[in-house]
Chains A and B, each alone.
Chain A
Amino acid sequence: MREQLPALIVVVPLLAALASPLVAYFSTTLVRWLSIAAILVAHLSSIGSLVHALTQGTWHYHFGGWAPPWGIEYVIDPLGGVMAVLISFVSLVVVVYSGPFLKEYDWLKKGIYYALFTLLTTGLLGMVVTGDVFNFYVFLEVSSLTGYALIAAGGNRATVAAFRYLLIGTIGASFYLLGIGYLYAITGSLNMADLAEKIPLIIDSPVVLLAVVMFVVGLGTKMALFPLHGWQPDAYTYSHPAAAALIAGVMAKVPAYAVLRFFFFIIVGSTGPVQSALEVMGWLAAAGIIVGSIMAIAQKDFRRMLAYSSVAQIGYIVVGLAIGNTFGLIGAMLHFINHAIMKSCLFLVAGGVKFRTGEHAIEKYAELSRKMPLTMGAFLIAALSMVGLPPTAGFFSKWYLVLGALEAGKWPYVVVIIISSLLNAVYFFRIIENAYMKKASPPLADKASSTLELPLQMLVPIVVLGLGILVLGIFNEQLVSQVLQYAIPGGGR
């Protein structure tokens, strides 16, 4: 069983997703436990694979026994392993959390919700463990299609947002597909490791240049890199409240991971188009950080504010990649993890407040700290982490990014990061002020019937993620020295 771990990461949630509607017909409680169990298995398998990759080197798993480059292989290296652990963890937390939102649904809707949710997890996990560029495309579409459906489940506005996202997302995916078409035409291979050997020999060819441009546009659209982020605020704002945390927290991270994978592991070379592509992406991201932060200040809806702040935060990751030295890449990797946890936590809080009071507007957050002390405590930690105050996790990723920018002599990035931290402080302190200092008038509507501020299934995930931010911050040195330094190119063995 142990040697099959990389396959289990994908196969178990996939099978659970297929079985979900049928299981839901017999028992809606069972389908919930099935989904939780499947994602838990995927999580444990990811951890097992990551440990194996760290102790014994990169793990190549040949699917169906076909040797690469002919067959599809799954590759668990420290980078993919870290991402798989992160995705399955967030997904596990969110699936536990989503229970109370589905109370009113009938068996069919519940079954389909859990099927879509586990399928989305499958797609995201598949993208990070696969070693084949076309297989990556298939998982990209699996996660996108389920993403559209989960966004559309959020109501009538959400349907329009999902449709518009579907059009833009499909354009992005088509560009990615054209990109791998060019790489295949010139190398005759789809295997990532094989491509990494063949491409450096032809790095100056115009075909590689075209492929790089296609990847920048395609993956940039998928990860909502400024100015390709137009779909994102609506989609995140109106998506189904139970799934929003997973969609907003990790869905955009995986294309960013793909940029790291392609531009630092596959298309490598001291000359060639990658450096200029990263340079362009870095400047776009820097502009996106500023614009996203300013737009976030202007929003009245909490979720919409978070969505614009995501445009800014994905910018940090791309800036880290554009800096490109060890500190920059560690900062980007750390920000993958930190931002996924922080943004999921904030969306869980938004969902929790909606569940309790039915409100999303920021001004309605007045006096919430007394009604929902634990939720608002988690929010406070996450908000401070977004601003970047030590010892929360957000401080350390920005610290590494600034160190990297200084070392590379790229001063403008330092200025951008510091300005955007100030802007972050503006929009988060506005909510903190509302929640902790203002008096509510008129008194808040209260839907809660029990003594707890939220059902336990929702409260525990929020608190776990809130504490997770602190834990990540305190143990960031161990995380970097034990795991992340092996995940970046040139690190490890």
Chain B
Amino acid sequence: MIQEFLAGSLIYWLIAILFLLGIYGILDNNNFMKKLMAMNIMQVAVILFFLVLGQKSGGTLPIMIGHDNNVDLYINPLPHALMLTAIVVSLSTTGVALALLMRIQDHYGEIEEDDILRRMNK
């Protein structure tokens, strides 16, 4: 029972917690840089979710070596391919966000959200 839980659904619970932690971090932090880091944690949770979907115990690479094709042992490569794209998207989002943060820091001299909003609405 407990072993089944550990091997089966525990990882999904952990991923869900990680995802929600990321969202909580975005909501709770006042510093834009910390918000950005929380956003990255959230994206990592999504990536892990897809990778776990493609995983199976005792699985092997989906490559045909000689005539020994154990198709039923192959790990599904599609989630990995999808997440390669998602990692690139996450990287470019972070890049754009960092560029924006530099502009904000240049102009306002700080990256604390409540101060900046107060100065914006003046």
Q: How far is the CB of A168 from chain B (nearest CB, A)?
A: 8
* A166:B97 contact, CB within 8 angstroms: yes
A199 at the interface (CB under 8 A from B): no
Of the listed stretches A78-86, A152-160, A263-271, A377-385, chain B binds: A152-160
User: Is B42 within 8 A of A171, CB to CB?
Assistant: yes
B93 to A166, Cβ gap below 8 A?
A: yes
B96 touches A145 (CB 8 A): yes
Q: What count of chain B residues pass the 8 Å CB interface test?
A: 32
* A145 pairs with B100, CB closer than 8 A: no
Please measure, in the bound complex, the distance between the C-alpha atom of A167 and the C-alpha atom of B34, giving whole angstroms: 11
User: Does A181 contact B116, Cβ atoms closer than 8 Å?
Assistant: no
For window 45-65 of B, CB contacts with A under 8 Å fall at 46, 49-50, 53
Query: With A and B bound together, what is the CA distance between A138 and B88 in angstroms?
Result: 10
Contact assessment for A148 and B100 in the assembled complex, using a CB-CB cutoff below 8 Å? yes
Q: Which residue of A is nearest B102, CB measured?
A: A159
Considering only residues 160-189 of chain A, those with a C-beta below 8 Å from chain B are: 160, 162-163, 166-167, 170-171, 174, 177-178, 181, 184-185
Q: Which of B50, B82, B92, B101 contacts A163 (CB 8 A)?
A: B101
A138 touching B42, Cβ below 8 Å: no
A178 and B49: CB pair below 8 A? yes
Query: Is B14 part of the binding interface, using a Cβ–Cβ cutoff of 8 Å?
Result: no
Does B120 lie at the interface of the complex (its beta carbon under 8 Å from any beta carbon of A)? Answer: yes
How many residues on A have C-beta within 8 angstroms of the other chain's C-beta atoms? 25
Distance in Å: Cβ of A73 to nearest Cβ of chain B: 16
Verify B100–A181 contact, CB threshold 8 A: no
Judged by a CB distance under 8 angstroms, whether A469 is at the interface is: no
A156 and B103 CA atoms in complex are apart in Å by 8
Q: Does A134 contact B (CB under 8 A)?
A: yes
Instruction: Give chain B interface residues in 83-112, CB to chain A under 8 Å.
Output: 85-86, 89, 92-93, 96-97, 100-101, 103-104, 107-108
CA distance A192 to B97 in the complex (A): 32
Interchain CA distance A184-B100 in the complex, whole Å:
34
In contact, A159 and B49 (Cβ under 8 angstroms)? no
Neighbouring A residues of B79 by C-beta, 8 Å = 184
Chain A residues, CB < 8 A from B36: 167
A163 touching B120, Cβ below 8 Å: no
User: How far does the Cβ of B81 sit from chain A's closest Cβ, in whole Å?
Assistant: 9
CA A167 to CA B38, docked complex, whole Å: 10
In angstroms, Cα B106 to Cα A160, docked, is 12
Query: Are A152 and B103 touching (Cβ within 8 A)?
Result: yes
Contacts known (A159-B107, A171-B26, A181-B46); A148 close to B96, Cβ less than 8 A: yes
- Judge whether A162 and B93 touch: CB under 8 Å: no
A184 B53 Cβ-Cβ under 8 A: yes
Main secondary structure on chain A at its contact with chain B?
Answer: helix
Residues from chain B with Cβ under 8 Å of A167 in the complex: 26, 35-36, 39, 97
In contact, B85 and A174 (Cβ under 8 angstroms): no
Report how far A134 CA is from B50 CA in the complex, Å.
12
The smallest beta-carbon distance between A138 and chain B, in angstroms, is 6
Partner of B96, one of A149, A156, A160, A190: A149
Provide the residues of chain A in CB contact with B101, threshold 8 Å: 163
Q: Given A148, A156, A170, A184, which contacts B107 in the complex, CB threshold below 8 Å?
A: A156
Chain B residues whose CB sits within 8 angstroms of the CB of A166 once the complex forms: 93, 96-97, 100
Say whether B53 contacts A181, CB under 8 Å: yes
Give the nearest-CB partner of B85 in chain A: A138
Q: Does A141 contact B (CB under 8 A)?
A: yes
Q: When chains A and B are docked, how far (Å) is the Cα of A160 from the Cα of B53?
A: 37
Q: Give the contacts of B14-34 with A (CB-CB under 8 A).
A: 19, 23, 26, 32
Smallest beta-carbon distance B85→chain A, Å:
6
Complex Cα spacing A288 to B43, Å:
29
User: Whole-angstrom distance from the CB of B46 to the nearest CB of chain A?
Assistant: 5
Chain A residues with CB below 8 A from B23, complex form: 171
Query: Which of A137, A159, A178 has the most chain B CB within a 10 Å cutoff?
Result: A159
In the complex, are the beta carbons of B100 and A163 less than 8 A apart?
Answer: yes
CA distance A190 to B78 in the complex (A): 10
Within 8 A of B (CB), among A122-159: 134, 137-138, 141, 145, 148-149, 152, 156-157, 159
Inter-chain contacts of B120 with A (CB < 8 A)? 157, 160
Select one of A145, A152, A163, A181 contacting B49, CB under 8 A: A181
Contact B93 A145, beta carbon cutoff 8 Å: yes
User: With A134-B82, A167-B35 in contact, is A174–B100 under 8 Å at CB?
Assistant: no
In the bound complex, CA of A157 to CA of B120 (Å): 6
B46 touches A159 (CB 8 A): no
Pairwise interchain contact A159-B100, C-beta atoms closer than 8 A: yes
Binding site for A on B (CB under 8 A): 19, 23, 26, 32, 35-36, 39, 42-43, 46, 49-50, 53, 78-79, 82, 85-86, 89, 92-93, 96-97, 100-101, 103-104, 107-108, 116-117, 120
A–B Cβ pairs within 8 angstroms, 27 of them: A137-B86, A138-B85, A138-B89, A145-B93, A148-B96, A149-B96, A152-B100, A156-B107, A157-B120, A159-B103, A159-B104, A160-B104, A160-B120, A163-B97, A163-B100, A166-B97, A166-B100, A167-B36, A167-B97, A170-B39, A171-B23, A174-B42, A177-B46, A178-B49, A181-B46, A181-B49, A185-B53
